[in-house]
Amino acid sequence: MKEGIEAKLVGSNPARQSIYARLSSGTNEKALVLLNHIDVVPVAANEWTEPPFSGLRSGGYIWGRGALDMKSIGIAELMAVIDLKRRRTPLRRDIIFLGVADEELGGLHGCKELLETHPELFANVGYVLNEGGYNETWAERAAFWGIEVQQKVPLFLRIQVKGFSGHSASPPNDGGTLSKLIDTLEAVEKIPTPYRVTPAVARYFAILGAFKNDYKGEALRALSKKLDLNRVKVLPDGYRSLLQRLPLAVARYDRHHADSRRRLHELLAADRDGGRRHSPSRR
């Protein structure tokens, strides 16, 4: 690279390459990854008032698919790395810049592939900074740059039911597979996904709450001290989700399959044992 930072493209698919660079510190401290994704979701160009890949600057905005998600952060991370290099800042730990392909497609040729096929790239990594968190604007001015301090653990469930599908004009007596599927979804929907306030989120809410004079600020400040379901309810989804350990995402659950049943129960048991909690939380 022009700045004298050694960088390389990695990935098996020439059309879906990721970019990796590591600033070496010479210490054994756990490395920090500045992670971003360089792909974007598709565009329907006719829905755009400006060309979606133009990067046009107009009216105080940059117009482009991915400007928010997440080229802005990618560029900020890149500039941070360049700045460290230009200033010859002595580093306490290695800093890794990683712009990955395919985040919008489940990381297939991005994070997933790199972790599986290039574990050496992540040697001695201890920390990752990535996208997430709400920014808030008041009258078009940034009032608050959000830093999300807690991540959720999604539980993906794929549901399979077996039986006769039948015809809609003459369905089987028991309702057939569709009815079994609905029963299962109902059971999944009833699984409690409890709330808890971790110390990191409590601190985040306290600081954020101090910025707000409205009911949200009041809820955030109160929740930073004590879990209260009535206050949880008034929070926007983005903040509320930080209180959840286990958002259920249904992708695979076979109630006749011991493995899925065991995995589900393990996760729920782990959740019951861990930290402060309250249930049920499903809205």
Q: Which residues are catalytic?
A: 39, 103
The CB-of-6 to Zn ion minimum distance in angstroms stands at: 26
Instruction: Return the DSSP state at 92.
Output: S
228 part of the interface to Zn ion, by CB under 5 A: no
* CA-closest candidate to residue 69, choices 133, 165, 136, 148: 133
The CB-of-264 to Zn ion minimum distance in angstroms stands at: 28
70 part of the interface to Zn ion, by CB under 5 A: yes
Looking at the Cβ atoms of 10 and 70, the one nearer to Zn ion is 70
- List Cβ<8 Å contacts ≥24 apart for 224-227: 224/197, 226/197, 227/195, 227/196, 227/197, 227/276, 227/278
Looking at the Cβ atoms of 70 and 235, the one nearer to Zn ion is 70
Residue nearest to Zn ion (CB): 69
Summary count for the chain: helices (H), strands (E): 8, 11
69 part of the interface to Zn ion, by CB under 5 A: yes
Q: How far is CA 166 from the centre of its chain?
A: 40
Rounded to whole angstroms, how far apart are CA atoms 112 and 137?
A: 34
Looking at the Cβ atoms of 72 and 177, the one nearer to Zn ion is 72
Looking at the Cβ atoms of 35 and 248, the one nearer to Zn ion is 35
The CB-of-39 to Zn ion minimum distance in angstroms stands at: 9
Stretch that binds Zn ion, among 28-36, 57-65, 123-131, 179-187 (CB under 5 A): 123-131
Q: Tell me the two tokens of residue 119.
A: 């574990």
Q: How far is CA 31 from the centre of its chain?
A: 21
148 part of the interface to Zn ion, by CB under 5 A: no
136 part of the interface to Zn ion, by CB under 5 A: no
